[in-house]
Amino acid sequence: MEKPKIAIITIKNNYSFGGVLSYLREVYKFLGKYFDPTVFYLSFDSKISANLKTFNFKNDIRETDYLGMRVIEIGSKWAFWEPGHYKYSLNLWQKVLQDYDYFILVSGSNIAAYPLVKLNKKFLAIVSAAYQDDRAQRADQLPMIRKFIDFFSQFKMKKIEKEIFQKSSYLLPISKDTKKRINQIIGHNRDNLAICGFPMGVKVNGKFLSENKNIIAVGRFSDPRKNFDMLMQAFNNIYEKDNSIKLYIVGSKPEQKQIIKFSNQSFYKNIIFTGNLNENELSQFYEIADLILITSYQEGLGLIGLEAMSYGIPVVATNCGGPKDFVIDGKNGFLVNINDYKNMAEKALYILSSNDIYKDFSKYASSFVKDNYSKNKFESILINGFITVYPELKDLFEYEIEKNDIIFNDNIKKEENISI
């Protein structure tokens, strides 16, 4: 029997890791059991996009493979004007989506769903963050001419974001903080909304404090949103109290001008930059890590913290949005104010101060992930969303509904009824 076709709309990442990509891969794998999935995203590649420099005024479509997923890229037009990214290529979106009946957005902000709204499609939307929250620090670092263009584009972008949230058939924010921001943007509490969390299996049921204490920080530290300066300042304070502790920084480095501010200080010799790691390599670092620090200005969820907790690693994070969902103060870690590096160091040292304290934090970290971020919960929430939007799919999901003991009620529409 031929599977129904489903379009997964997302954004193009130039790296092989990150929160949005993790969600995309999980959703693609799950939907592949029931549908014939294809991923669609806007591309700025000059080979298929309009480009003033090469006097190319046409955009085109390209089929490709992206980390084992079937993908169709839609070339952009006039990339300098953000409100037109999807509007000016809408004819191509209409062409590539015409044979699809089912749609889901998996993205950071909701902007990539613009074609679905304008083509009057019903769709689900997994959203990590509000548009402004997702870009605030990066926008501050734009060149002057880009800032000028950006200033005039933002009024339009805010209107686009609000319209998409209003017209999404079913919203799946990844955290309570994202849900709150959506309701603020819309101006009221949305129906047909459920916090979806993430399917995170437990790898270790608690662990012991290692003899050589190791702290880990994971992320694209080339992104100003990750707040590299706070990470350095916090570790400096930790080093002053215990100069045997090492910090492993996994992911892309910040610019050299940021690193050079700290490279001559004594604590810097205890920092190891690993660069980007694949999943197997990262899991090896989790096995030797005792603590993870998250210093971000904003996180939709902070998936890397959840992943660390699945290995029994406690978390000290800034109060930057998503981590509030899984960092329980004094139980599996601590939340501190953004840029309060002294408090972050103090809390980190407390967790690492004794085996007994550490064991309790580690055990709670693992059990919290097991109880709140299971695969069954994530898939059940997705299924409920799909059946709400597309009632005819109930028979398609029948086996999964019985296996996971999913309760579906046609009258259950409000976000408070379905959440992790």
pLDDT at 142 exceeding the cut of 70: no
Between 7-16, 81-90, 146-155, 318-327, the lowest mean confidence (pLDDT) is in 146-155
Which pLDDT value is given to residue 410? 40
- Distance from first CA to last CA of the chain, Å, rounded? 34
Q: At 404, is the pLDDT very low, low, confident or very high (cuts 50, 70, 90)?
A: low
d(CA 219, CA 113): 26
Which pLDDT value is given to residue 414? 40
Choices 3.40.50.2000, 1.20.1270.10, 1.20.1050.40, 3.40.50.10260: CATH for 5-198+374-417: 3.40.50.2000
pLDDT in tens, 368-388: 999 999 999 999 999 999 999
All structural domains of the chain with their residue ranges: 5-198+374-417, 214-372
d(CA 180, CA 160): 18
Average pLDDT in the 166-192 region? 95
Spell out the alpha helix ranges (H) of 119-173. 131-140, 144-167
Which pLDDT value is given to residue 80? 77
Per-chain mean pLDDT for the chain: 90
Kind plus residue range of the DSSP H or E element containing 90: helix 90-97
Which pLDDT value is given to residue 337? 98
Which pLDDT value is given to residue 409? 46
| Conformational region of residue 227, where left means phi above 0, alpha means psi within -120 to 50, and beta covers everything else | left
| Residues 72, 94 contacting (CB under 8 angstroms) | no
pLDDT at 403 exceeding the cut of 70: no
Kind plus residue range of the DSSP H or E element containing 361: helix 355-372
pLDDT in tens, 284-319: 999 999 999 999 999 999 999 999 999 999 999 999
Q: At 406, is the pLDDT very low, low, confident or very high (cuts 50, 70, 90)?
A: low
Architecture field, domain 214-372: 3-Layer(aba) Sandwich (3.40)
pTM above 0.85, yes or no: yes
- Fold identical between 5-198+374-417 and 214-372? yes
Which pLDDT value is given to residue 81? 81
Which pLDDT value is given to residue 257? 87
| Residues 241, 349 contacting (CB under 8 angstroms) | yes
Average pLDDT in the 170-194 region? 95
Q: Which two tokens stand for residue 334?
A: 């601590």
